[in-house]
Amino acid sequence: MANMSATYMFVMLDLDVPPAEGSSTRRVLLHAMNTGFKATQQTISGSATLLASTEKGPAAYIPPGPPPTDTIPHRYVQLLFQQPADLKVQASDFQETSARINFDINAFMTKNKVSAPLAGNFFMVDGRASATAKGTALASGSGGLPGSTPQAFTGAAEKYGLSPSMAGLLGGLALFAI
């Protein structure tokens, strides 16, 4: 059950942004940081409290969109934190995409006195899914363990005609605390 008086913050990261020229190291991109979530009176399945916010940032949502030429599946991580009362993060901090590249969530948490995440989720999107404009992605292994042969995966999003971008947006909006 969510703390009815607490405020929450949602963060979404892409852990697999292609390397910059001259480098072989993948980078982290901050896809979203949304603050001001409060518990509502709505529940899901009688046990989870729906969280809602009217705020659009400070880092507005950027949908998943790996380059079609990138064959490495991108890991998108969604985290829910209790928001510190004195959090001072401005939209201007993230206006430029360059401010979102190489985002260090651990440094951000330390600097802003943010405690460990309360909840998390992840999904993967292969760049080739963007090229087809369908909701398909490649997943490998089972149970989150890497496998040697990628298998085509058609998730529930495609069943309902959703693109990977829309699926990511809905995943971010469907925040709730158990």
Q: Kindly state whether residue 95 falls inside one of the protein's structural domains.
A: yes
- Give the pLDDT of residue 157: 45
Strands (E), 103-165: 119-125, 136-139, 151-154
pLDDT at 131: 55
The pLDDT of residue 129 is 59
Specify if 159 maps to a domain.
no
Q: What confidence category does residue 82 fall into, taking pLDDT thresholds of 50, 70 and 90? A: very high
Cα separation, 167 vs 99, whole angstroms: 25
Q: With bands split at pLDDT 50, 70 and 90, how would you rate the model's confidence at 22?
A: confident
Backbone dihedral angles phi then psi of residue 156, each to the nearest 5 degrees? -65, -25
CATH of the domain at 21: 3.90.280.10
Euclidean distance between CA atoms 158 and 103, whole angstroms: 30
Give the pLDDT confidence score for residue 69 in this predicted structure.
85
Assess if residue 149 is contained within a domain.
Answer: no
147 SS3 class: coil
- For 88-145, the pLDDT digits (tens) are 998 888 888 888 999 999 999 999 999 999 999 999 988 775 555 444 444 433 333 3
Q: Is residue 80 in a domain?
A: yes
2 confidence band (pLDDT: 50, 70, 90): low
Report if residue 21 sits inside a domain: yes
- Looking at the domain assignment, is residue 76 inside a domain? yes
Total structural domains within the chain: 1
| ∠ Cα 15 21 95 (to 5°) | 55
Domain of 111 in residue numbering reads as 7-125+167-177
Whether 163 shows a pLDDT value over 60: the answer reads no
Is 144 within the bounds of a domain? no
Q: Residue 90 falls within a domain, yes or no? A: yes
What pLDDT shows up at residue 148?
39
Phi, psi for 40 (deg, rounded to 5):
-105, 180
Tell me what the mean pLDDT of segment 73-94 comes to: 92
Q: Please indicate whether residue 177 or residue 55 has the higher confidence score (pLDDT).
A: 55
More confident residue, 176 or 8: 8
pLDDT the model gives residue 128: 74
